Copies of this chain bind each other. A is one copy, B any other.
């Protein structure tokens, strides 16, 4: 009998777990939101991940539950744990990825470097934060945001009026997160895998290039990084993985400031876009590593295979025709590039795939990855 892993969520992250699961002989079972999703090949159930009975029924036939996303509600997660299901990452860790206010408070306890922040419950509170921070700030809804959604840069409390009104309607206890607008030189990401027993493996710190709040490109390792900052990034990743009790893959999104400090921006407790390069650029890719970690298997080698790897997202996809129509031109562009598609219909701004190139000359690797990805525009 092989080991059964249940993945809640049928998106591209679940899809990219299929290949390593097949290789290792693991029985991957996916609870998809709908039929025909990215991970449809491994979908053994379709249903609502917010419904306790649906998720509990799905979990009955697996050895461990893990996730394609962080949106499974805490009561559902707690019900699984109460039923004796192994859940990785568990609800105690996941809450910090689900609620940015909880995250900020916990990271502060751990002494992690982060932007100035506050929980604000009304316009006066927000205005006070603005007044203390040169009249600019980032307001975030603590829950449910992703890819730039639920995030707004404001110069006055009025610009967040709708969210503040929603707060008042939601009643007591709710707050918005407000953060200092960091003058950053660039964005980095640090990935760490951690097993339930506490074994860890760290990937190279990478540079992530965002466009319109969405990851467009990742360069691994982050070019021209001071050796000191590489160490700091790794230490931050390990401290958060251990401090929050993360199991599986953790991604820590970081700002590198103009004065060479690192500040924690966001967390993700699952394979992450910033680690897609590792499928083709590291000895053990993040999807295999995640499966190993949540099963408590020995972790694989996260070392790079080549000096440079560049991952370029395919955003939107072809305006006419299908992804498949573009394969001939894309594959002809560079024989060594790796094309990953997500089985999604093209739609403006949607992540429908990515391209990774690796090599020893960063300029060439960048050019190759971008040229191949551009064939899908």
- Give chain B nearest CB distance to A295 CB in angstroms: 8
Taking Cβ atoms with an 8 Å cutoff, the residues of A that contact B are 1-3, 15, 18-19, 22-26, 41-42, 283-284, 292, 297-301, 303, 305-306, 322-324, 327-328, 331-332, 335-336, 338-343, 353
12 extra interface residue pairs, beta carbon distance < 8 Å, beyond A2-B324, A25-B323, A300-B336: A1-B322, A2-B322, A19-B23, A25-B324, A25-B353, A283-B336, A284-B335, A297-B327, A299-B335, A300-B331, A300-B335, A303-B336
Please indicate the chain B residues that have their CB under 8 angstroms from the CB of A42 in the complex.
Answer: 41
- Give chain B nearest CB distance to A19 CB in angstroms: 4
> Which residue of chain B has its CB nearest to the CB of A20?
B19
How long is the Cα–Cα vector from A274 to B376 in the complex, in angstroms? 34
> Which residue of chain B has its CB nearest to the CB of A63?
B324
How long is the Cα–Cα vector from A15 to B24 in the complex, in angstroms? 12
- Report whether B19 and A324 are in contact in the complex, using a CB–CB cutoff of 8 Å: no
Contact partner of A327 (CB less than 8 A), chosen from B15, B24, B41, B323, is B24
- Report whether A22 and B19 are in contact in the complex, using a CB–CB cutoff of 8 Å: yes
Task: Name the residue in A25, A26, A327 with the highest tally of chain B Cβ atoms < 10 Å from its Cβ.
Answer: A25
Contacts A297-B328, A301-B335, A332-B298 given: A22-B41 contact, CB under 8 Å?
Answer: yes
> Which residue of chain B has its CB nearest to the CB of A299?
B335
Contacts A19-B18, A331-B297 given: A341-B25 contact, CB under 8 Å?
Answer: yes
- Report whether B322 and A24 are in contact in the complex, using a CB–CB cutoff of 8 Å: no
How long is the Cα–Cα vector from A303 to B359 in the complex, in angstroms? 12
- Give chain B nearest CB distance to A231 CB in angstroms: 21
Contact partner of A292 (CB less than 8 A), chosen from B2, B331, B343, is B331
Please indicate the chain B residues that have their CB under 8 angstroms from the CB of A297 in the complex.
Answer: 327-328, 331
A-B contact pairs, 27 of them (CB 8 A): A1-B324, A2-B324, A2-B343, A3-B324, A3-B327, A18-B19, A18-B22, A19-B22, A22-B343, A23-B338, A23-B339, A23-B340, A23-B341, A25-B324, A25-B327, A25-B341, A25-B342, A25-B353, A41-B41, A41-B42, A283-B335, A292-B331, A297-B331, A298-B328, A298-B335, A301-B335, A305-B305
How long is the Cα–Cα vector from A25 to B38 in the complex, in angstroms? 10
Pairs of residues from A and B, 5 with the lowest C-beta to C-beta distance, nearest first:
A25-B341, A19-B19, A301-B335, A301-B336, A298-B332
- Give chain B nearest CB distance to A153 CB in angstroms: 36
Please indicate the chain B residues that have their CB under 8 angstroms from the CB of A26 in the complex.
Answer: 324
> Which residue of chain B has its CB nearest to the CB of A296?
B328
> Which residue of chain B has its CB nearest to the CB of A18?
B22
- Give chain B nearest CB distance to A94 CB in angstroms: 26
- Report whether B2 and A323 are in contact in the complex, using a CB–CB cutoff of 8 Å: yes
- Give chain B nearest CB distance to A62 CB in angstroms: 14
How long is the Cα–Cα vector from A1 to B343 in the complex, in angstroms? 10
- Give chain B nearest CB distance to A329 CB in angstroms: 9
> Which residue of chain B has its CB nearest to the CB of A39?
B22
Please indicate the chain B residues that have their CB under 8 angstroms from the CB of A336 in the complex.
Answer: 283-284, 300-301, 303
How long is the Cα–Cα vector from A242 to B298 in the complex, in angstroms? 46
Task: Name the residue in A22, A24, A323, A331 with the highest tally of chain B Cβ atoms < 10 Å from its Cβ.
Answer: A22
How long is the Cα–Cα vector from A306 to B336 in the complex, in angstroms? 14
Please indicate the chain B residues that have their CB under 8 angstroms from the CB of A306 in the complex.
Answer: 305
